[in-house]
Structure formats: structure tokens, C-alpha cells
Amino acid sequence: MSQSPAPTVIEAVDLHRSYKIGKDRVVDVLRGLSLEVAKGEQLFLTGPSGAGKTTLMYTLAGLERPEQGQVIIDAQDIYAIGRKPLAKLRNEKIGYIFQNYHLLPELTAVENAALPGMIGGNDRLAAAREALVRVGLEHRLDHLPAELSGGEQQRVAIARAIVNDPDIIFADEPTGNLDSRNGAEIIDLLFGLAEEKKRTLVVVTHDQELANQGQRTLVIKDGVIVDDRVHSQNG
């Protein structure tokens, strides 16, 4: 008996986004792009530089409003629900891992990891400690970012992304600033965290070999999807 398909957790419909450069030049970054992401899916977005990958991820994550189109999460058009409900949805449902970590330099690892909970009005230090243990940093809780290696800073960023137990994890070039060994460890960690609770994982990468490790790869070029590949679960 075949399994029922997983429900759709993210749906993007006819997304358009452009940027004005200088006085007269307008660059179309997303050009009518639509996609669906299933619950628990491990999806990689790849393509050449300037293709629109990061803009698409920002738009899917509720960080950048499209000029046209919809992003639907939990049956809600997230750009039509108002700023406060959108902020609440992002805080509770979405974890975001930035390429350059975006850690606050004056805060310790555990304080940085606790930030999403604090934004939500909760004391999340205990949850932050647990998240840091899960990413292998139990011995670095009280260290500042400047005292951590690049791989360790990325692990703090991952702990921060999972501290509120989100349904969806977005990761923008999570291995882009790391050597191959640390990069492989970070990807294995992300896969493990996603599979542990059937979280949906959406990753931007320029590394085609890395993109093929997911369940599905979308190739973006000139603001549209030019290829949609489903990979074998067994690699």
C-alpha cells in the first residue's frame, strides 16, 4: 500500500521581485516563480550567482515582501496577515540560518542561541543550552563569537534557528564560509536535526554536489525555476 503524499507546508504563487539600481535600471530578480514544498522535505535551491536564490529564500521565510504573488504557510498568505501576526509566525514556525552567522558579538553562545525565545517574550536560556548541546557545543556555552571558530559560530547559528522548535528551517549557504570538513559536518547536522522531528529543510547553495544530497533540488536561473530534480532516498 503506497504512502499518502506529505502535505504542502510552503506554497509560493507567481512571485515577482525586482530591484532598482541607480536612477533608471531595474533588475528583475524573481519573475513569476511558483513552487510547493512538502512537509518534512529536504529541498536545495541552487543556480548561478545572481539567479535569485537568496531573494527567493528571504521571500519564502517572510523576510522580504514580493511585489506580486503569495507565500502560503499553514494555509495563511503570510504577506496578507499583518506585520505582528507575520512576526509571530516567523518566530514560532521558522528558523533561519544566515550565511554570515549574524551573531551579536557582545553576547555569549547561549545568549545568542536564546534570542528567538526572548523576542517571543520567553526565557529560553534552558532551551538554548539544550540546543547547543544538540549541535555539539556544550563546552562553549559561555564563549563570545570572537572566541569561536567559523564552524562553531555556524553551530551557534543553527542552535538559534532550532531553539523555538520550528517546523521549517531555512539555511542560506550554510557551508559557504567553512572548509570541506566543517561543511560536511554542518550538513550532516542539519539533515539529522531535520529528520529527528520531520522538519522541513530549505537550503540555498552554489555547490551542486551538496545540492544533490537533498531529497529534491530546484535549479534557479534568471529568477525562474529551470530544473526540478527529485533524488533517490538512498542517494
- Would you kindly state where each structural domain of the chain is located, as residue ranges? 40-62+83-230
Measured CA distances, 11 to 35, 38, 54, 61, 70 (Å): 6, 9, 17, 11, 8
Give the residues of the chain that fall short of pLDDT 50. 1, 234-235
Cell (9 digits) for 219: 535549479
What pLDDT, on the 0 to 100 scale, is given for residue 233? 57
**90: three-class secondary structure by DSSP:** helix
Query: Could you report the per-residue pLDDT of 62-86, keeping only the tens digit for each?
Result: 999 999 999 999 889 999 999 999 9
Superfamily of domain 40-62+83-230: P-loop containing nucleotide triphosphate hydrolases (3.40.50.300)
What pLDDT, on the 0 to 100 scale, is given for residue 121? 59
What pLDDT, on the 0 to 100 scale, is given for residue 235? 43
What pLDDT, on the 0 to 100 scale, is given for residue 24? 83
Instruction: Give the integer Cα–Cα distance in Å for 224 and 218.
Output: 10
φ/ψ (deg, to 5) at 106: -85, -5
What pLDDT, on the 0 to 100 scale, is given for residue 1? 46
What pLDDT, on the 0 to 100 scale, is given for residue 43? 96
